Structure 1
Amino acid sequence: MDFKATKGIYLQIAENICNQILEGKLKPDERVPSVRDLATELEVNRNTVMRTYSYLQAEEIFENKRGVGFFVASNAIALIKDRDKNAFFKNEFPVLLEKIKLLKLTTKDFKQIIEALKLND
């Protein structure tokens, strides 16, 4: 993982974990790596990973089973999608719409972009 200074490391780790859940690399009801193991893998302090896990637990994306470890919540995918969708429409979409207006983009422009993307696949 390549950490950026614009966002807390624990939040970047949480975002990465949520992306892994959405990609199917971590599945609902599956045990996640221990705090110690993930800290070693990412080369960060264990307290940082614990803060990540606590944050994801507060967001109800993780469940902590005492003595066993942290697990992906059964409804984690729906929670992540809903949270990310709301954040997108609140934070990113208005900026995107403003840029579309400034550039006076048309549906023809979007069709050309979509076709170009299809050719690159």
Structure 2
Amino acid sequence: MNFTSNKPIYIQIADLICEKILVQIFKEEDRIPSVRELAIDLEVNPNTVMRTYEYLQELAIIYNKRGVGFFVSLNGMNKASEYLKKECMEKDMPSLFKKINLLKITFREIEELYLQYLKNSNN
């Protein structure tokens, strides 16, 4: 995973886990990688992964079965979707809107690009 400097690493890892939940790589009630496994896989400090897991627990996206591991919550898919949507709306959209306004991009142009994207992503 290539980390960026615009967001804390533990948040970027949380986003990645949520994306995996949304595409059902991790399904509700599935065990997710242990702190150590994910730290090795992502080449980060285990404390960073632990911070991610604590954060996702606070959001009720995952839960811990003591001695067994971390699991996606029963309503984890909806919670992950809510979390990523909120992140997008609050953090990504304002800068995008600024560029749209600056470049005078019309909603029609955006719609055409989006429809093309959907067409290409379904292949």
Name the TM-score, length of structure 1 as normaliser: 0.81
Q: 1:14–1:113: structure 2 CA closer, same or farther, 3 Å change rule? A: closer
Is residue 2:55 matched to residue 1:58?
Answer: no
* Structure number, greater radius of gyration: 1
Q: 1:20–1:114: structure 2 CA closer, same or farther, 3 Å change rule? A: closer
Q: Which runs of 5+ in 2 are unaligned?
A: none
Q: 1:13–1:87: structure 2 CA closer, same or farther, 3 Å change rule? A: closer
* Equivalent position of 1:43 in the other structure: 43
Q: 1:103–1:46: structure 2 CA closer, same or farther, 3 Å change rule? A: closer
Name the TM-score, length of structure 2 as normaliser: 0.80
**What residue identity is the alignment partner of 1:73?**
S
Give the CA RMSD over aligned residues. 2.3
* Equivalent position of 1:9 in the other structure: 9
- Provide the rounded CA distance (Å) in 2 between the counterparts of 1:54 and 1:107: 39
* Equivalent position of 1:32 in the other structure: 32
Once the two structures are superposed, the pairs formed by residues 99-114 of structure 1 within 5 Å of their partners are: 99-106=99-106, 108-110=108-110, 112-114=112-114
* % same residue: 45
Cα offset for 1:107? 5.2
- Provide the rounded CA distance (Å) in 2 between the counterparts of 1:108 and 1:5: 33
Q: 1:99–1:63: structure 2 CA closer, same or farther, 3 Å change rule? A: same
* Equivalent position of 1:19 in the other structure: 19
CA contact 2:18–2:84 (8 Å) conserved in 1: no
Identify which range, 81-90 or 10-19, moves more after superposition: 81-90
Identify which range, 104-113 or 1-10, moves more after superposition: 104-113
